[in-house]
Amino acid sequence: MKEFFGFGGYQREAEGFMSWQHLTFVTSLMVVMVALAVFFGRRNKNRSDKAKNLVLIWAAVLIDSLELFKIVLLCFRAKDPMDWLYNLPLFLCSIQLIAIPLAAFSKGKVREAALDFVCIFGILGALLGTYGAGQNYGAYPVLSFDNVISGITHSISGFASLYILISGMASMKKEDIPICLSILCGFCIAAYVANILVDYNYMFLMRGDGTPYDILYNLVGGHEVFYPLGVVVLFFAYIAMFYWIFFLARKKKQAKVAV
């Protein structure tokens, strides 16, 4: 247990990013994630909003509880008491720690926008935080506290995203797009300021750190302005693409029903 939780540092060598151990572990998580989302989504599709929302409540409680436990343990494990500054929830996937509870517990426009935000970024965060997490799987053993908890929390984000889609909870109204963009921009600004103050890499706005963001980082030569702007532009492009695909799929479904 001491080795699993990393007290005193991991004695095992990391199997490596994109090793068969890494791919097997995260693929297992993705299979469970999709299976649960399909099961609960299809079961609750025609049920009341209260019944649908109960699943999101559980997802919100689980993801926040696990993340809080992780932050507390990492701070307890750290030698420097100021290490908590490097465990702030300021990554793209971390937004779900707020967005999922908002989707589960709020009402009105805020809830609609939160549901859409979780729907849009949950699955992306799940894939980037498992298959694309080179900074984790290149540094820690696959079956370690750091990677297991990270894998589970990212999978919960992906589960929530797919569940919202399958159960029909996403409204994806055009008038809610500015709210989604505001949430994203607010976190990007907070993350960038934190990066400057504590010399870190929240939201991967400073460098790629072994993730797919390295492609953009190398493309712009690590430019201090063009790289973070490029990351934000990629976020916007992803949102636009997601809405386009969603509206296209909705239009085809409506056309099929009309026939």
Quick: pLDDT tens for 4-44.
888 878 888 999 899 999 999 999 999 999 999 999 999 99
Please report the pLDDT score of residue 259 as a whole number: 58
Q: Three-state DSSP class for 253?
A: helix
Mean pLDDT of the chain: 89
* CA gap 139, 146 in Å, rounded: 10
Q: Over 90: is that where the pLDDT of 233 sits? A: yes
Q: Three-state DSSP class for 1?
A: coil
Q: Over 80: is that where the pLDDT of 121 sits? A: yes
DSSP 8-class letter at 84: G
Cα dist. 37→104, 153, 155, 212 in Å? 16, 15, 10, 26
State in Å, rounded, how far the first CA of the chain is from the last one: 60
Q: Are 132 and 151 in contact (CB under 8 A)?
A: no
The tokens 């907070």 sit on which residue? Answer: 190
Residue 88 one-letter amino acid: L
Cα dist. 167→30, 113, 170, 171, 258 in Å? 19, 16, 8, 11, 21
Written in H, E and C, the secondary structure of 149-185 is: HHHHHHHHHHHHHHHHHHHCCCCCCHHHHHHHHHHHH
* CA gap 163, 156 in Å, rounded: 10
Q: How confident is the model over 123-179, as pLDDT tens digits? A: 988 998 899 888 889 889 999 998 999 999 999 999 999 999 999 998 888 888 888
Six token digits for residue 235: 């976020």
Please report the pLDDT score of residue 93 as a whole number: 81
Q: How far is CA 155 from the centre of its chain?
A: 8
* CA gap 234, 257 in Å, rounded: 34
Q: Over 80: is that where the pLDDT of 84 sits? A: no
* CA gap 47, 27 in Å, rounded: 30
* H-helix or E-strand spanning residue 226: helix 226-258
Q: Are 56 and 103 in contact (CB under 8 A)?
A: yes
Task: Enter the pTM of the model.
Answer: 0.86
